[in-house]
Amino acid sequence: MNKNKSTILVTGGLGYIGSHTVIELIQHGFDVVILDNLSNSSIEVLDLLYEITGKNIPFYKLDLSQDDLSILPENIDGIIHFAAFKNVFESVEYPLLYYQNNVDAIFRLLNWMQSRNIKKFIFSSSCTVYGEVKELPVREETPFNFPLSPYAHTKQIGEITLQYFIRSYPSQVISLRYFNPAGAHPSGKIGEIHYKVPQNLFPYITQTAYGIRPKLYIYGGDYPTPDGTPIRDYIHVIDVARAHVLAYEYLDQLPLPSYEVFNIGSGKGYSVLQVVQAFEKSTGIRVPYEITHRRPGDAAMIYADTSKVQKVLNFKPIYTLEDMAFDAWKWEQYFREKIKKNE
């Protein structure tokens, strides 16, 4: 538990990873203030957070890229920054939208952070910063390669900005590079909302299982992997949220200035077909699928070296691939039934 109670501003706190992290922070004794512009989330999540935590959490509907941040409370001790657009393929179609939202937001947030004399900052980064990698597993020391999407580039810009920022404004900063968060809260009440065709594997599987999609399309069956389908490193969203709590607590051990990076993944690679099999095993539901052409820019395999986060933060995932599948399915059912009731 947190001995010295702190108040943390969580930007994008009603989104997928943000909302789960809010729950973990509160359960570890932190106070939380949520900022979200609701562009990719729902205000209903705030009520669900109350149901799960029993806490009334202060909420501010603000857009970091353009709104006045001076109305935020004075008692904020640190920031966990999630708020960003994150659809890789959408970013290719609308690159300027992604640069305006993701990059402008971090510039304005850091200016505000400096004006309030806040020294602690956790950045929601991504394994996409590595680009096309030649050696596996991916280590934190792996250099950035050319970004494969504007989204990936915005995360590279965010990390580079932070490394220069701490030189002029001494602060304690950690970037967490997620691999593939999946699953949902075990209550089934909070998960990843998808109103459009999902680009991530797990929601595509659950929507297919529910009947929203006729079949799962697997993009590529001729990769140099054991079963021919791409391999990725999946990690339960609750484990990702736990990593944020550990990272924030670790900030107190860092000198001023400091910049640290951690890969957040399971350290294991799972193929698309292995994920489908895990879903069918955990739920008893068959998922129809069709193997089709590869997607441009998709790598054959990528998974994390997690030795640093294990050693420094004493972090190891608790949940299994089957847990991710079962919890994702529980959330899909809850979400769809809720939509039906509101129709």
| In contact, 328 and 203? CB cutoff 8 Å | yes
Specify whether 204 is catalytic.
no
Would you give the DSSP letter of residue 174?
A: E
How far apart CA 265 and CA 240 sit, in angstroms, is: 8
> Strand, coil or helix: what is 297?
coil
Instruction: Find the length of the chain.
Output: 343
Q: How far is CA 68 from CA 57, 58, 112, 177, 321, in A?
A: 20, 17, 10, 29, 42
How far apart CA 250 and CA 17 sit, in angstroms, is: 20
Q: Could you tell me where the DSSP H helices lie in 54-125?
A: 88-93, 95-98, 104-115
Using CB atoms within 10 A of its CB, is residue 197 exposed (0-12), middle (13-18) or buried (19+)?
A: exposed
Q: Please identify which of the residues 16, 98, 151, 204 carries the catalytic annotation.
A: 151
Report strand pairing: 231-232 vs 270-271.
antiparallel
List the catalytic residues: 151
